[in-house]
Amino acid sequence: MQAVAQAMAIERPREKRVVWQGWASFAMLALAPLLLLSGCTGSVASLNSANPAPVPPAITTQPNNQTVVAGQAATFMVVASGTAPMSYQWQKNGANIVGATSSSYTTPATATADSGSTFDVVLSNSAGSVTSSAATLTVNAPAVAPTITTQPANQTVTGGQPATFSVVATGTAPLSYQWQKNGANIAGATSASYTTPATATADNGSTFDVVVSNSAGSVTSNTATLTVNASTVMPTITTGPASQTVTPGQSATFSVVAAGTAPLNYQWAKNGATISGATFSSFTTPVTTASDNGSQFTVVVSNSSGSVTSSPATLTVNSGGLASDCTIFASSSGNDANSGTSATAPKTFNGAAAATQPGSVVCLLAGTYNLSSSFNPPTNGSPSAWIVYKSYGDGAVNFVWTGAADASPMFRLGAGGTTFPTGPSYLEFRGLNFDGGGNAGDALFCRGGHHLRVIGNSMSNTGGSGVGTRDCDYLTADHNTVYHNGYMPASTSVPQWYGWTSGISFNSDQWFDTYPGFHNVIANNIVVGEYDSSSNHTDGNGIILDLSNGSYSASTANTPPALIINNVVYGNGGRCIEAFVVTNFWIVNNTCYKNNLDATLGNAASLTTNNSKNGYFINNIAVAWDTANPTYSAEGTNATISDYGNLYYGSPLNFTPNASAQFVQADPLFVNPPVLTGGQYATALAPSLLGPGLTVLTTSPAIGAGIDPTTLPNLPAEIVNDLRTYVYTDINGKARPQGGSFDLGAYQH
C-alpha cells in the first residue's frame, strides 16, 4: 500500500502537499472495501450497527371474535412485532373506523343491527404493512328474566306411587331449574319437571316449588301440595239395601252403606238392568204399580280397587186386588151389564160408581179412562164406611181429559152453595193418574165437601190445580205427585170459581166441627212446575192455605188447624208454601227449592205468611233462586207466628225474627239438585227423575238441626197426638227419632 502511494506521489510531484492530503482522504475511501476484504473490519462494522435496516410488521396475536348483549361495548385487540413506530387502522366491514388507530379498539354501545359485523386492523411501519384476520361481532338481544306461565299443580297419589310436578316458564335461554320440597332444595332436581320417589303417607301435605333462573334474574313458582292417600281399599257393603213394601202409587227408597277408599261409585239395577241416573247411595223408585211387585234391586259399589254387588232387595207392591178389599171392579173396557164383582166381569167406571154404597171399594183395572166431562161421585160414604176409588194394582190407571177447554175439573166433588156442608163426603181416591191434557181445570176439585182423602195419585197437565178446594173441611192430600199444572189456554171460558191456581190449594176451609186437632193435612207430596195462567195471575204456588170464608180481613180470619208436612216443592212459578189470611197452621219439615220462577210475580217469597195468625214454621229448608226473592216472608199483619229450626239460603229473610226464632243461614248441600233458573217452571225436572237429588250430604248443616215439634210447650193434646201420626216418618217412610234431633226438610238421613 505504501508503494502505491509513493508511486502516485512521484507521478505528481508539484502537488505533493495538497494532493497528498486530498489523496489521502480519497485513498481512505477507496481503500475501505479493500480493508474489509483483507479482514480489517473492526472500525467499519461499528459504523453499520448504529443504523439497522427496518423490519416490517408481523401479527403474533390475531383479534378474537366477540359476543356481547345489545347495549354493551366490544373490544378487539391485536399483538404484532416489527420496526417501530407501528401504526394501526381498524376497519369495520372493510371500512376504516375514524380514530381507531391503536392496538385495541372498543366499539360504541352495540345494537342488534351490529351483529355479524367483522373487524380487522391494518398494521404498518417504514418497512411495510400487514392486515389481521377478521373477527366477528355477535350481538345478542338483552336477556329476559323468567316468567312462569304454568304453575305446578297439586297432586294426589296413593302411597307407594310417585308424583310428578311440572312447570312451564318463558325467558331468555338457558333457563335453569331448582325444585324444592318444603322449602329445601332437592339434589339433582334441575329440570322443568320433577318426579318424586315412591311416596309414603309421611309425604302427605308436603309442598313443592321450583326456582327458575337465567342471567337476567329468577322467579319462584307457587307451591303445589302433595296428597298421599292410604293404599286403596276395595269397597265392602256394611249395610245392604232392605226389601221394601208399598202400595200402588207410592215410591220406594233403597239405601246402601259401604266402606272403602273414597270416592265410592254407585250404580243401581232393577232385575239386573242398570237404572239410568241411579248413581247415589240411595235410590227412590218412580211411582209404583202392581207390575213392579217382586222386582229385585241391587247396587254395585266400586272404586279404583274393585267393586262389590249388594244382595238383592225385593220390592213388594201390595195389590189392591184382594177379594176381601175390592167390592166393585171397573175397567176402561167394562160393561155395565157385568156384575162388577170380579176382575173378569168389570163394569164401566161410571157404572161402578153408580153401584157404590157406603163401604164400597171400587177397584179400577189398568187402562186409560177418557173423561169428556167432570166425574161427580153419586154416593157418599159414612164415618165408619168410606167409599174408596183406587187402582186395582195390575198397572197404571190413567184418567185423561178429552173434554172442552172450559176449566171443568176432572173429578168434581160438590157443586158448592151458600151453606156448608153440601158436597160429597167420606170418599177416598188412591193410586190414580190424572192428565188434564192442558184443558181441564183441576184434577180433583172440592166445593162444600168434607172428609175427603186424596192419596198416592199423580196429577199433571191441568189448567188449574192438582187438588183444589173451596169451602171444605177434613181434607187429606198425601203422597201425591203434582206436576206441570196451571197452564190453562187463554181462550178458556172460566167458571166463577176459577180465578187462581196453585199445585195444592185449600181455600176458605170451613169448621165441620170444633175438634181442636188437625182438620186438614197436606203431607208427603212432590209439587213442581205450577203456574198461574188465570186472569188474576198472582199465585202459581206449590201449596197454599188461602183465605178464611173468602174474606181478605185478617181480623176475621178463623180457619181450622192445618198441617203441611214432609212436602218437596221445587221449580214452581210462584211461592213454595203460603199461608194467606188463615189461622192455626203448621208448616213442618218441608223442602223448598228454587221456586218463584215467574218473574211477573215480582219479589214473591218462598215460605210466606200474609195477614195470618197462630202459625208455626218448623224444620223447613228454603233455597231461593234469586236474591230478590226472600226465603221467608212475613207480609201484612201477622200475629203469634213461631219459627223453630228453619234453614234458608240464597236470599235473606224479609222480616226481623223475634228473639226466640230459630233460623240458620247456610247452604244445605243437596246431593244433586235440579238445575233451575228464572222462567223455567214449565220445564222443571219431572218428579220421576228427581231421585235423591234434594236429599242432603252427610256434611250438611241440616243434619240433626231440627226439633221434635211434639215437645213444644202448651200444645193441645189433640195437636200433639195428630203430630205424632206424621212427624216420626219422612216423605219416604223413613223413621225420625222420637224426641231426638230431626233433620231439616222432608227427608231424614
CA 229 to chain CA centroid, nearest Å = 24
- Indicate whether 45 pLDDT > 60: no
pLDDT tens sequence across 227-254: 998 777 899 999 999 999 887 767 888 9
Whole-number pLDDT of residue 8: 38
Gap between the Cα atoms of 442 and 460, Å rounded: 9
Same domain, 661 and 714: yes
Whole-number pLDDT of residue 319: 61
- Asked whether residue 647 is assigned to any structural domain, the reply reads yes
Whole-number pLDDT of residue 38: 39
- Indicate whether 603 pLDDT > 50: yes
Closest-CA residue to 103 (of 92, 93, 88, 118): 88
Whole-number pLDDT of residue 20: 32
3-class SS of residue 106: strand
**Sign of the torsion angle spanned by Cα atoms 633, 642, 726, 694:** positive
Amino acid at 748: Q
Instruction: Note whether 461 and 686 are within 8 A (CB).
Output: no
- Indicate whether 461 pLDDT > 90: yes
| Contacts of the segment 183-192: beta carbons below 8 A, 24+ positions apart | 183/207, 183/209, 192/166, 192/167, 192/168
Cell of 326: 175390592
Gap between the Cα atoms of 212 and 220, Å rounded: 6
Gap between the Cα atoms of 483 and 149, Å rounded: 52
Instruction: Note whether 73 and 108 are within 8 A (CB).
Output: yes
Whole-number pLDDT of residue 50: 59
Strands (DSSP E) along 182-235, which ranges? 184-185, 193-195, 207-214, 217-220, 224-229
Average pLDDT of the segment spanning 400-414: 92
pLDDT tens sequence across 74-116: 999 999 999 999 999 999 999 999 999 999 999 999 999 999 9
- Segment holding 6, helix H or strand E: helix 2-11
Whole-number pLDDT of residue 691: 85
- Asked whether residue 134 is assigned to any structural domain, the reply reads yes
pLDDT tens sequence across 410-433: 999 997 666 789 889 999 999 999
Angle between helix axes 16-37 and 2-11 (nearest 10 degrees) is 150
Cell of 350: 161410571
- Asked whether residue 369 is assigned to any structural domain, the reply reads no
Same domain, 182 and 276: no
- Asked whether residue 168 is assigned to any structural domain, the reply reads yes
- Segment holding 734, helix H or strand E: none
Same domain, 266 and 211: no
Same domain, 2 and 85: no
* Residues in CB range of 303: below 8 A, 6 or more apart: 232, 234, 235, 260, 261, 262, 263, 264, 265
Same domain, 599 and 707: yes
Domain boundary among 140, 167, 192: 140
- Residue-averaged pLDDT of the chain: 89
Alpha-carbon distances, residue 229 vs 195, 197, 204, 232, 443 (angstroms): 17, 15, 8, 8, 56
3-class SS of residue 179: strand
- Asked whether residue 327 is assigned to any structural domain, the reply reads no
- Indicate whether 42 pLDDT > 50: no
Q: Which residue has the cell 169451602?
A: 471
Higher pLDDT pick, 487 / 523: 523
Same domain, 249 and 279: yes
Whole-number pLDDT of residue 491: 67
Higher pLDDT pick, 317 / 117: 117
Closest-CA residue to 418 (of 475, 493, 377, 470): 470
Encode burial over 371-403: b for 16+ CB neighbours within 10 A, e otherwise. Answer: beebbebeebbeeeebbbbbbbbbebbbbbbeb
Q: Which residue has the cell 214454621?
A: 617
Amino acid at 383: P
- Indicate whether 73 pLDDT > 50: yes
Gap between the Cα atoms of 296 and 239, Å rounded: 17
Quickly list DSSP for 571-590.
S-SS-SEEEES-EEEEEES-
- Indicate whether 674 pLDDT > 50: yes
Domain boundary among 89, 112, 140: 140
Gap between the Cα atoms of 479 and 465, Å rounded: 16
Q: pTM for the full model?
A: 0.63
Closest-CA residue to 395 (of 348, 433, 447, 446): 433
For strands 433-435 and 397-401, give the pairing: parallel
pLDDT tens sequence across 335-347: 999 999 999 999 9
Same domain, 157 and 133: no
Same domain, 117 and 156: no
**Sign of the torsion angle spanned by Cα atoms 742, 746, 748, 749:** negative
- Indicate whether 1 pLDDT > 70: no
**Sign of the torsion angle spanned by Cα atoms 544, 545, 550, 552:** negative
* Residues in CB range of 721: below 8 A, 6 or more apart: 517
Kindly report the CATH number assigned to the domain that includes residue 308: 2.60.40.10
Gap between the Cα atoms of 657 and 639, Å rounded: 12
Confidence label for 40 from pLDDT (cuts 50, 70 and 90): very low
Main-chain phi, psi angles of 478, to 5 degrees:
-135, 130
Whole-number pLDDT of residue 658: 77
Same domain, 566 and 653: yes
Which of 304-313, 585-594, 598-607, 740-749 reaches the highest mean pLDDT?
585-594
Domain coverage including residue 104: 58-140
For strands 207-214 and 224-229, give the pairing: antiparallel
Domain boundary among 140, 164, 198: 140
pLDDT tens sequence across 629-651: 999 999 999 999 999 999 999 99
- Asked whether residue 43 is assigned to any structural domain, the reply reads no
Same domain, 539 and 500: yes
Q: Which residue has the cell 184418567?
A: 399
- Asked whether residue 663 is assigned to any structural domain, the reply reads yes
pLDDT tens sequence across 124-146: 999 999 999 999 999 988 889 99
Average pLDDT of the segment spanning 741-745: 94
Domain count, the chain: 5
CA 391 to chain CA centroid, nearest Å = 42
Gap between the Cα atoms of 199 and 227, Å rounded: 10
Same domain, 128 and 5: no
Instruction: Tell me which DSSP letter residue 555 carries.
Output: G
- Asked whether residue 377 is assigned to any structural domain, the reply reads no
Same domain, 423 and 501: yes
